[in-house]
Amino acid sequence: MTDWRARLPELRERIRRIERPTAAVHGVLPFGIAAIDQLLPGGGLARGALHEIYGVGGDEEDGALAAAFVAGILGRLTTQKSSAGDGTVLWCLSRPDLYGPGLAAHGLDPARLVLVRAPRDTEILWALEEGLRAPGIAAVVGEVGTLAAVASRRLQLAAERSGITAFLLRRWRDGGQAARERNLPNAAVTRWRIAELPSLPTLGEPGVGHPRWRIELLRCRGGEPVCWEVEEADATGHVSLASALADRPAPPVPAQQFRLVG
């Protein structure tokens, strides 16, 4: 009678493996924030898997928030002792507008990047797949617009095989393309949407406050969709949960109250 009770943890583990094969094989990268990590399967972002990230509104075209979010993750991934090689990151993009000091501010050393410029999405996807086959690469990032389900499946399989983490940063040409592509299914293990929130006024300090983001986990294999509001706390790109989770739009500030610097 006690027999099945003893077997229960083992069975649970087996189900867990079936549900999340990648997390079990290659481990996870925790965000370091309990509120986020406890809701992710395995306690963090699965390594050796494909993750999809995009922004909201105009940022779907500019890809600034998505890049910052990925830079923060890569900063932690590449500085970890366990990461393979010297932490080279392959970043494939069609518009070369990534800015080094901005990346550094989010915790990613730009010297670790190898930038691959390719005009077409198909070439970027090809470069990503090549990168996923090269041991020694810590992670690959690709800024793509159109993504066929088959192509995402290939990337996911290549990532699973090599254990290299892949990030797809979706960047669309215009609102029309974004609307068409946004909700198409693909093989990515997680899908994140990062939206900016109006910054909260610091007491006694006019001007732009700390950046606040709404991080939505829209899709997660083996997990539930969740949503957090975070405030960027420091220069390392690590995010912390905002103390006040209520979404209050800041009242518009009259022009004469702008803070002057310098």
Using rule CB under 8 A, residue 111 touches other proteins: yes
Using rule CB under 8 A, residue 203 touches other proteins: no
Sorted by sequence, the CB contacts under 8 Å of residue 234 that are 6+ apart come out as none
CB of 7 to other proteins, least distance (A): 41
Closest CA to 76 of 166, 142, 138, 162: 138
CB of 91 to other proteins, least distance (A): 9
Using rule CB under 8 A, residue 136 touches other proteins: yes
Using rule CB under 8 A, residue 86 touches other proteins: yes
> Measured between alpha carbons, how far is 142 from 155 in angstroms, rounded to an integer?
11
Bridge-partner residues for 93, per DSSP?
A: 117
Question: Which residue among 16, 25, 43, 61 contacts other proteins (CB under 8 A)?
Answer: 61
The three-point CA angle 152-153-157 to 5° equals: 120
* 252-255 long-range contacts, CB within 8 A, separation 24+: 253/201, 253/206
Strand 190-197 with 212-220, pairing: antiparallel
Using rule CB under 8 A, residue 224 touches other proteins: no
CB of 205 to other proteins, least distance (A): 10
Sorted by sequence, the CB contacts under 8 Å of residue 115 that are 6+ apart come out as 91, 92, 93, 96, 98
Question: Which residue among 21, 27, 30, 102 contacts other proteins (CB under 8 A)?
Answer: 102
> Measured between alpha carbons, how far is 195 from 152 in angstroms, rounded to an integer?
24
Using rule CB under 8 A, residue 239 touches other proteins: no
> Measured between alpha carbons, how far is 236 from 35 in angstroms, rounded to an integer?
19
Question: Which residue among 24, 105, 157, 241 contacts other proteins (CB under 8 A)?
Answer: 105
* Subset of 2-41 contacting other proteins (CB under 8 A): none
CB of 218 to other proteins, least distance (A): 19
Using rule CB under 8 A, residue 97 touches other proteins: yes
CB of 247 to other proteins, least distance (A): 10
Q: Which stretch binds other proteins (CB under 8 A): 11-19, 21-29, 122-130, 219-227?
A: 122-130
